[in-house]
Amino acid sequence: MFNPRGLRQILLIALAPACLLLFPQPANASDDINFCASDELPPNPFSFPEDDGVHYNPDTGLYEQPVEEWFWNGSFTTLLGRKYGVQLGVYQFSFPDGAGGQISQVLAAATLSDVQTHTYVQDTIIGFGAFDPLSGELAFDLEDPTTGARIQVESGGGIDNIAIDFSAGYRISLLYDSLKDVYIDRGTGLETLIDPVTGHFHGEQFRYSRIHMGAVGFVEAPGSHGRLIVGIGTFVRGFGSPLADISGMWFSIHLSNGVDVQLWHRSSTLTGNTLLHSLDLQSAVPECASSTTTDFVIRLFDEYEVGGLLFPGASPWTRPRWIFTSP
């Protein structure tokens, strides 16, 4: 796995020729890889790079957030036009051990879609104490000795460095440029789930995203050589209290037509009442126009209708009907 420190220039050099052709940049882009204009950013309640990493207090030796989530996706293309889709979700759950300390459990789920061969592979790995909280950055290495699957992430210095070995034999390594303006989810960055009828509190989490992130890497299919890929993806970050007595779903997907989608649907398992039902859209670069709608329905938990258009589901937990393609 590459060391991400000092690699931002390598990423920019590798991305520049392809991205300039694929994504014309606005005149007021805030940096070389920040494709969207950033004139109307909402107030930012987050601190960077602290909130990108694990919230750990070295004085107490405890994690400060019971639930931490990191999510990356992307739509990628080779120079010859082969298309791939990638998702990675990482979750850390910290809970008391009964002796004044904590137990920390990490779960990582990764998916890869090979559009040409209509191949979809996924792996889920669970581990304990896999993070390095003293590094000041996000760093972990999870491996399943039974299947051979391995998921590695190292984030810092403006680079998210990801390497995934799938049990099916696919391998992928990606460098995301993470020096992008954040999109503040829900306008405030805070998702609070309260039953609108009973007033019952189901939990709350802070959330933000980096949308239209440039990325470059290699993908290797079983029995073939590695292929250089470039593309655009999204990073979604969440942390906060456990979400209790809820059901529903969330997913983030970057479609091959450049539209970025985040869908949220939460309901109470106690009453069945809807707690959150929202779909956030951001159009392709350079406009990157944001909009939110509640006008969508869920079909079979893998297909979503918005204004008469069907969007594919894409989750590490369920096999979607289509992956990273335009509706």
CA distances from 299 to 62, 125, 255, 310, 312 (A): 41, 28, 19, 10, 10
Full residue range of the structural domain in which residue 211 is found? 8-38+46-55+63-245
Q: What is the mean pLDDT of residues 44-49?
A: 78
pLDDT at 124 over 50: yes
Closest CA to 143 of 171, 164, 174, 121: 164
How does residue 194 score in pLDDT terms, banded at 50, 70 and 90? very high
Tell me which DSSP letter residue 159 carries.
E
* Residue 314 is assigned to a structural domain of this protein: no
Burial 219-256 (b: 16+ CB within 10 A, else e): bebeeeeebebbbbbbbbbbbbeebeebebbbbbbbbb
The total domain count for the chain is 1
The pLDDT tens digits of the residues spanning 249-270 come to 777 776 767 777 777 888 999 9
- Per-residue pLDDT, 133: 61
Q: Is the dihedral of CA 39, 277, 64, 210 positive or negative?
A: negative
CA distance 208 to 237: 5
| Amino acid letter for position 78 | T
The pLDDT tens digits of the residues spanning 224-244 come to 889 999 988 888 889 998 888
* Residue 316 is assigned to a structural domain of this protein: no
pLDDT at 272 over 80: yes
* Residue 295 is assigned to a structural domain of this protein: no
Comparing 124 with 4, the larger pLDDT belongs to: 124
- Per-residue pLDDT, 161: 92
- Per-residue pLDDT, 312: 45
Q: What is the mean pLDDT of residues 36-43?
A: 54
- Per-residue pLDDT, 273: 94
Tokens matching residue 101 = 């300390």
* Residue 84 is assigned to a structural domain of this protein: yes
Comparing 131 with 98, the larger pLDDT belongs to: 98
CA distance 25 to 309: 28
- Per-residue pLDDT, 152: 92
The pLDDT tens digits of the residues spanning 139-182 come to 888 999 999 999 999 887 778 899 999 999 999 999 998 776 77
Closest CA to 296 of 258, 256, 251, 257: 251
Look at 32-36, 56-60, 220-224 and tell me which has the smallest mean pLDDT: 32-36
Contact 259, 284 (CB under 8 A): yes
* Residue 209 is assigned to a structural domain of this protein: yes
Q: What is the mean pLDDT of residues 114-123?
A: 88
- Would you state the torsion angle of the CA atoms of residues 50, 53, 55, 58, taken in this order, to the nearest 10 degrees? -80
pLDDT at 247 over 70: yes
Q: What is the mean pLDDT of residues 25-31?
A: 36
Peptide linkage before 286 cis (omega within 30 of 0): yes
The pLDDT tens digits of the residues spanning 50-83 come to 888 888 888 888 888 899 999 998 889 998 999 9
CA distance 1 to 157: 15
CB 199: neighbour CB atoms within 10 A?
7
Give the CATH number, domain containing residue 87.
2.40.370.10
Contact 187, 27 (CB under 8 A): no
Closest CA to 177 of 193, 188, 161, 196: 161
* Residue 254 is assigned to a structural domain of this protein: no
- Per-residue pLDDT, 78: 92
Tokens matching residue 167 = 């049990």
